[in-house]
Amino acid sequence: MADRVPSGPEGVPFLGSSLHYADDPLGFMERVADEYGDVARIDVYSQEVYQVTDPDAIRRVLVTNAENYKKPSLGGDEGLGGLLGDGLLTSNGAHWQRQRKVMQPSFFGDKLDDYADIIVRDSETLADSWYDGKHVDIHREMSELTLRIVVESLLGARIDGMERTIREALLEVGERFRPGPQGFVPEEIPTPRNVRYRRSVEILDRILRDIRRQHEVHGEADDLLGKLLGEEESGMLGKEQVRNEMMTMLLAGHDTTALTLTYAWYLLATHPEAKNRFHDELDSVVDGSPTVADLAELDFLEQVVMETMRLYPPAYVIYRQAENEDTLAGFHIPADTVVAAPQWVVHRDGRFFDDPEAFRPERWTTEFRRELPDFAYFPFGGGPRKCIGDGFAMREAKLVLATLGTQFDFELVSDAPLSLVPFVTIHPENPVEMTVRAR
């Protein structure tokens, strides 16, 4: 029997399903999976995309047949590649393999322990600026904290006083990737959004040059930027390629962890029983500043982080492009087809998670993890291109939560539902305002 051809929403002439997708990307992907099953064909922005929500099929795309699925250039040079160039997040082939090999040691072993000291110290510095009753936008606070951490840990520099400027520039850059029926407008067309985008990229490039100058004076040869500069000195990388990797780390190295922390504080604030258990565990394990050794005993803390990334995966969809034809879940995948594997949909699938819309950290028992199908949960992707910083991000999230959670509780200022906007990652549409309460 020949492989089947997937069905999907018809859409409208020329635009396909672009308008429906732009109006509610997350809801649209859920509806497509509900109505058309594990493999569905969608036409968005004049691009035919196959949405895949079967874990075995996702595993084939990301792991067992990964050599057939490359990073697509969605939006061409006007997409992420226009911002990050041939950085690790966007490149393919031999260049990507070499860069991954050069950068990998900065995210493993003793280096992670070195970063732990920076994470806790910067978190305690933030805590020192808070007081009982202070109102904060927790997303802004977590964004600026994770920016400080990633620049100090990976790029060997300080950005004291520049956090707000960087965050606002990155938010403006993110606006360029907000879903819209128009898709990507070429950068040279001076729309208001493009003008703001170019100005923000110029600001970020200026700050990256300052970070580089700092590192050349005070940096270490064995941190990530030091390794990249060593590659430049040996002639293996150009100056622009080093810039691309720095921009990639600035964007990807802080954003997903900041979002995980924001959503964790939000979920704890809206689930008092889980919050009490979170604080009780911290009180029983942590004595003074949290340490890496403490993390081994903070089981519920890890469950909170995992459940947060299940409900609110910062990276909500992974795209790949088939170089040759393939078969996924019994469906024919033509060569050059773009495949979308949406974490947002799979993580909320009732086939794999009981009461999937509920925040239940306790579900993440050892037995549950063992029985869960591979790629029913994949917040960091998987296979050769699994997020290089997954271990760093998990340790950072847990240490920040532990450091701040030992000293403070957080109360939501408003009980309005959380409204989300999918850029490259899922962001809260409005400030997440909380009141800091000393414990």
pLDDT tens, position by position, 231-285: 999 999 999 999 999 999 998 889 999 999 999 999 999 999 999 999 999 999 9
Q: Which residues pair with 331 in a beta bridge?
A: 4, 328
pTM: 0.95
Asked whether the predicted pLDDT for residue 1 surpasses 50, the reply is: no
Closest CA to 242 of 224, 221, 219, 222: 224
pLDDT on residue 49: 95
**Do 259 and 426 meet the contact criterion of CB atoms below 8 Å apart?**
yes
CA distances (Å), origin 23, targets 40, 125, 178, 209, 335: 19, 40, 11, 38, 29
Q: Which residues pair with 332 in a beta bridge?
A: 327
Residue-wise pLDDT for 14-34, tens only, equals: 788 988 888 899 999 999 999
Question: Strands, DSSP E only, in 366-412?
Answer: 408-412
Look at strands 47-52 and 338-341 and give their pairing: parallel
State how far Cα 316 lies from the chain centre: 8
Q: Return the structure tokens found at 170.
A: 């990155």
| Torsion sign, CA atoms 56, 62, 64, 65 | positive
Give CA–CA dist 326/392, Å, rounded.
34
pLDDT on residue 322: 97
Confidence category of residue 389, pLDDT binned at 50, 70, 90: very high
Q: Return the structure tokens found at 190.
A: 């001076």
Asked whether the predicted pLDDT for residue 310 surpasses 50, the reply is: yes
Packing angle of the helix pair 163-175, 192-218 (nearest 10 deg) = 140
Closest CA to 145 of 125, 131, 116, 165: 125
Give percent of the chain above pLDDT 70: 96
Confidence category of residue 227, pLDDT binned at 50, 70, 90: very high
Q: How many CA atoms lie within 13 A of 342 on its CB side?
A: 25
What is the rounded average pLDDT of the residues 379-401?
96
pLDDT on residue 184: 60
Closest CA to 253 of 378, 387, 120: 387
Give CA–CA dist 213/219, Å, rounded.
9
pLDDT on residue 76: 43
Question: Strands, DSSP E only, in 256-312?
Answer: none
Q: Hey, where are the domains in the chain?
A: 18-81+93-438
CA distances (Å), origin 137, targets 267, 423, 439: 15, 20, 19
CATH assignment of 18-81+93-438? 1.10.630.10
